[in-house]
Amino acid sequence: MIGALVAGITGSGGASLSSYESIATATGTGSSNTITFSSIPSTFKHLQIRYIGRTDNSATSRNYYIRLNSDSGANYAYHRLYGDGSTTGAEGYASQTEAYCFSSMPGALAGTNTMGVAITDLLDYSSSTKNKTLRTFHAFDNNGSGNVNISSGLWINTAAVTSITIVMATGNWTTSSTFALYGIKEA
Amino acid sequence: MPAGATYEPLATTTLTGTQATIDFNSISGSYTDLVISLYAQNAAASTGTRTGLMKLNSDSGTNYSYTTINGNGTAAASTRASSQSGGIFYAELVRAGNGANMFGFARISLFNYAGSTNKTILSESSADINGSGFVTRIVGLWRSTSAITSISLIGGSEGFTAGTTATLYGIKAA
């Protein structure tokens, strides 16, 4: 039985309930490896992207990566902590042309209808004085294979983030891949 | 409730006594994702942690699997379980024997829960017992294309203690 709504949460504070807002959504086309959120307003404090994905490439899983403001220069670094069901590992890379998220999106050889999932957080994205750090919790389970990952990414640029591009490194995002960008306001 | 709320609390349960499960039923299909915030204690009188499992739509078939990474303060490890009937592992639950005021945290995300693909969930679990415990990240799979309409959080073999609280949120994309 669904419990009763807690009055203190619903309250009269409508503003508090709108502090987490949906900005935009995107869906894979099956013929493109790129998802772009552009013209991101600067009116929020933080951003979060929640997504499920799959590639049409003939593999069990593939990597994807993130770029900010369409910057393809060697202005990124990233780290990953991961477990694959039997072993753990950690890796890091500097002076890269994108922030990679490894091995967490299933491909055509994975179980039918099985999707990878991810949550990417970008705090203080419109700051003009801070380099930008991404945090991504991303994973897939394929009932006998799969991995769980915690990744960080650094964009060495103090510009406000106005666009985010999520690129499937091999193959295209399937039409079952969906992405949702949310903005989180400060008080 | 204001129209168009994006991150909406749907239900909250705070236990007043020991209870085997916390259940959310008749879940509306009108959101994109669900999130459960849980602050919980398992009722075992011994120390350590207990595995918390989650079932969806009361399914007791071998349709669950999960992969984990955890750290216990000295080492990292990764585990996997396939074709399970007991549910998806969502948290290490702190046992009451560690102290009456010791609780553990879990945040569970259920993505595209009303969609037509198999259901993948992520869980962040933190159980610190001042000298022991685990930090754990979990991916779970329910091999069903059905919409999730009910969630049952199992509190280990002893159940949850009083004071355990869980809130179910719906997140709606534009």
Instruction: Give the model's pLDDT for residue B19.
Output: 98
Instruction: Indicate the burial class of A7 (C-beta count within 10 angstroms; 0-12, 13-18, 19 or more).
Output: exposed
| Residues whose CB is less than 8 angstroms from the CB of residue A58 and which lie 6 or more positions away in sequence, other chains included | A107, A108, A109
Tokens at A163, concatenated: 């666009």
Mean pLDDT rounded to a whole number for chain A: 91
Cβ of A180 and B32 within 8 Å?
yes
A163-169 average pLDDT score: 98
* Nearest-angstrom CA–CA distance, A93 and A12: 48
Task: Report residue A11's pLDDT band, with 50, 70 and 90 as the boundaries.
Answer: very low
Q: Which chain B residues are within 8 Å of A150, Cβ to Cβ? A: 69, 137
* Nearest-angstrom CA–CA distance, A96 and A102: 14
Alpha helices in B53-122 (DSSP H): none
A69-91 average pLDDT score: 97
Beta-carbon contacts below 8 Å between A and B: 167
**Chosen from B13, B34, B80 to mutate, greatest number of chain A CBs within 10 A:** B80
Portion of chain A with pLDDT greater than 70, in percent: 91
Cβ of A141 and B141 within 8 Å?
yes
* Closest CA–CA distance from residue B125 to any residue of chain A (Å): 13
Name the residue among A17, A111, A182 with its Cβ closest to that of B118. A111
Where chain B has pLDDT below 70, the residues are: 1-4
Residue with tokens 């499920």: A52
Buried b (16+ CB within 10 A) or exposed e, A102-133: bbbbbbeebbebbbbbbbbbbebbbeeeeebb
Instruction: Give the model's pLDDT for residue A104.
Output: 87
**For residue A147, what is the nearest residue in chain B, using CA coordinates?**
B67
Distances (CA, A) of A111 to A127, A155, B83: 42, 34, 13
> Kindly report the CA angle at A118 between A115 and A178, in degrees rounded to 5?
60
**Chosen from B64, B67, B109, B169 to mutate, greatest number of chain A CBs within 10 A:** B67
Tokens at A127, concatenated: 């700051």
Q: Whose CA is closest to B57, among B83, B87, B34?
A: B87
A23-47 average pLDDT score: 98
State yes or no: pLDDT of A107 exceeds 90: yes
* Closest CA–CA distance from residue A81 to any residue of chain B (Å): 9
Instruction: Indicate the burial class of B61 (C-beta count within 10 angstroms; 0-12, 13-18, 19 or more).
Output: exposed
Task: Report residue A183's pLDDT band, with 50, 70 and 90 as the boundaries.
Answer: very high
Instruction: Give the model's pLDDT for residue A170.
Output: 97
Cβ of B111 and A1 within 8 Å?
no
Instruction: Indicate the burial class of B146 (C-beta count within 10 angstroms; 0-12, 13-18, 19 or more).
Output: middle
Cβ of B23 and A81 within 8 Å?
no
Q: Whose CA is closest to B107, among B119, B94, B96, B122?
A: B122
Per-residue pLDDT of B71-117, as tens digits, reads 999 999 999 999 999 999 999 999 999 999 999 999 999 999 999 99
* Closest CA–CA distance from residue A73 to any residue of chain B (Å): 32
Q: Whose CA is closest to B14, among B50, B39, B48, B43?
A: B39
A57-82 average pLDDT score: 97
Instruction: Give the model's pLDDT for residue B69.
Output: 98
Name the residue among A18, A50, A147 with its Cβ closest to that of B2. A18
Q: Complex ipTM above 0.90?
A: yes
Per-residue pLDDT of A113-131, as tens digits, reads 999 999 999 999 999 999 9
**A96 within 8 A of A24, measured Cβ to Cβ:** no
Q: Which chain A residues are within 8 Å of B25, Cβ to Cβ? A: 1-2
* Nearest-angstrom CA–CA distance, B69 and A84: 8
Cβ of B174 and A1 within 8 Å?
no
Instruction: Give the model's pLDDT for residue A9.
Output: 27
**Chosen from A10, A143, A145 to mutate, greatest number of chain B CBs within 10 A:** A143
Check if A8 contacts B (Cβ < 8 Å): no
Q: Whose CA is closest to A47, among A37, A35, A56?
A: A37
Instruction: Give the model's pLDDT for residue B1.
Output: 35
Q: Which chain B residues are within 8 Å of A3, Cβ to Cβ? A: 11-13, 24
* Nearest-angstrom CA–CA distance, A56 and A62: 10
